[in-house]
Amino acid sequence: MVWLTLASSLAILSSHRLIAALLLLVSIGLAFFAHIINWQVILLLTFIVIIGGIHFYFKHNLILKISSEIMLIGCAVGLFIHLFPGFNNTKYLDKVIVGPQSSPFSMYFNFDKALIPFILLACLPTLFSSRPTKTATWRQWGLLVIAVPILLLVAAFAGGLGFELHFPTWLPAFILCNLFFVSLAEEALFRGYLQQRLTLWLGSPYLALILSALLFGGLHFAGGPLLILFATLSGVIYGLAWMWSGKLWLAVSFHFGLNLVHLLFFTYPVKMFIG
């Protein structure tokens, strides 16, 4: 119930913000009584609300606006890297092996990462929808769609993945978790906020695209150089989807689509090496 309520609030955040906020409050209450979060998180959320209020009501004061936004972004990044105590994120899968060639895989429902879009929306009202910084032809869009399976095929031929069909019983849970608590959270941070802000600051949408993709790839350092490379290339795909449309949900769709194709048709998360 906690996760369905939280996912519902995220699903309508771009169009019905008041209802989304009410659903978020309900999910926070449910999570507290289910011991998914504790009083430390309540204090953190109270602090975030206060800073968000300062950012909104004193937006004409440049010093307060900038300083409050920096604090909000610091909170968002802290939630992204699971820095703050008090979150007992639900481990839904514990070292399952989806196929004979796949390595063990664990999946968490992360309450902390799910809060990121709410914080970033307070910083940047155009998080979900902004004016496209570049236009693209239908042919370019077609190539971008094709780039998703091509990237996975290249990863397979490079040896990082293998070909393997899956249809696990926990697929609905994966869809819910990956769409709302992984893809949306990551795209909100790297494309909706970072790439959009860099585009405004640098005046170059392509430089903003490359920098955000490099940072996105760099945060996958734990998986080694090959994963960093492919995460960076996938970041370029997601960044182009955002740049050409101005729609965060479209970038999320590309991100989630790649993850879903990966799970269904390739070793997940990577190919198991037996030596």
In a domain, 116, yes or no: no
% of the chain beyond a pLDDT of 70 = 99
**What band does 42 get if pLDDT is binned at 50, 70 and 90?**
very high
In a domain, 136, yes or no: yes
Q: Which two tokens stand for residue 275?
A: 């030596």
Give the mean pLDDT of 135-153: 96
Is residue 261 predicted with pLDDT exceeding 60?
A: yes
Number of neighbouring beta carbons within 10 Å of residue 8: 17
Q: Where are the alpha helices (DSSP H) in 115-170?
A: 116-123, 138-157
**What band does 223 get if pLDDT is binned at 50, 70 and 90?**
confident
- Domain span at residue 216? 126-275
Is residue 274 predicted with pLDDT exceeding 70?
A: no
Give the mean pLDDT of 40-52: 97
**pLDDT score at 273:** 66
In a domain, 176, yes or no: yes
Is residue 275 predicted with pLDDT exceeding 60?
A: no
In a domain, 196, yes or no: yes
Give the mean pLDDT of 148-170: 94
Give the Cα-Cα-Cα angle 175, 210, 72 (nearest 5 degrees).
65
**pLDDT score at 220:** 86
Q: Where are the alpha helices (DSSP H) in the chain?
A: 2-11, 17-33, 39-57, 62-80, 111-114, 116-123, 138-157, 171-176, 184-187, 196-202, 205-218, 225-245, 248-265
Query: Which residues sit opposite 247 in a β-bridge?
Result: 129
In a domain, 83, yes or no: no
In a domain, 183, yes or no: yes
In a domain, 192, yes or no: yes
In a domain, 113, yes or no: no
% of the chain beyond a pLDDT of 90 = 90
Please, what is the average pLDDT of the chain? 95
**Domain count along the chain:** 1
